[in-house]
């Protein structure tokens, strides 16, 4: 289980899904009231998230499973696969990578 910050609110859980301006953690909606200009910022504070699915860009330290983003993906380590509508910049990736933009693997 990970602890993360979504637009200033600290939440714990395993799976994050961002759909438009709605945010779901482990299947329950946790949308904060402070979504400025349609921007949702998710920061992983501690632990490892299982999966992230988002229609916007994703930035995370460590994701145990898969990351699927409509925008770009910037992660330290992804245990599964990465699919992004934009570019991908990740350290270690355990699965496949698909990107609409460039792929940078450190």
Mean pLDDT of 60-65: 85
Greater confidence (8 vs 2) lies with: 2
Full residue range of the structural domain in which residue 69 is found:
2-99
pLDDT digit string (tens) for 68-83?
Answer: 999 999 988 999 999 9
The predicted pLDDT at position 99 comes to: 97
Q: What is the CA radius of gyration of the chain?
A: 13
d(CA 27, CA 96): 25
In-domain check, residue 105: no
Inter-residue contact 39 to 57 (CB < 8 Å): no
Inter-residue contact 4 to 42 (CB < 8 Å): yes
Inter-residue contact 23 to 52 (CB < 8 Å): no
**Burial (Cβ within 10 Å: 0-12, 13-18, ≥19) of residue 61:** middle
In-domain check, residue 104: no
In total, how many domains does the chain have?
A: 1
Mean pLDDT of 82-92: 95
Inter-residue contact 9 to 32 (CB < 8 Å): yes
pLDDT digit string (tens) for 3-42?
Answer: 887 777 888 999 989 887 788 899 998 876 665 555 666 7
Is the model's pTM score more than 0.75?
Answer: yes
């Amino acid at each position: 289980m990970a602890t993360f910050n979504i637009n200033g609110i600290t939440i714990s859980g395993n799976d994050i899904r961002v759909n438009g301006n709605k945010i779901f953690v482990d299947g329950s909606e946790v949308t904060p009231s402070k979504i400025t200009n349609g921007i949702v910022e998710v920061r992983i504070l501690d632990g490892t998230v299982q999966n992230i699915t988002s229609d916007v860009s994703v930035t995370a330290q460590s994701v145990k499973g898969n990351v699927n983003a409509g925008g770009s993906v910037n992660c330290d380590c992804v245990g599964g696969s990465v699919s992004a509508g934009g570019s991908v910049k990740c350290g270690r990736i355990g699965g496949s990578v698909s990107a609409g933009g460039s792929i940078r693997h450190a």
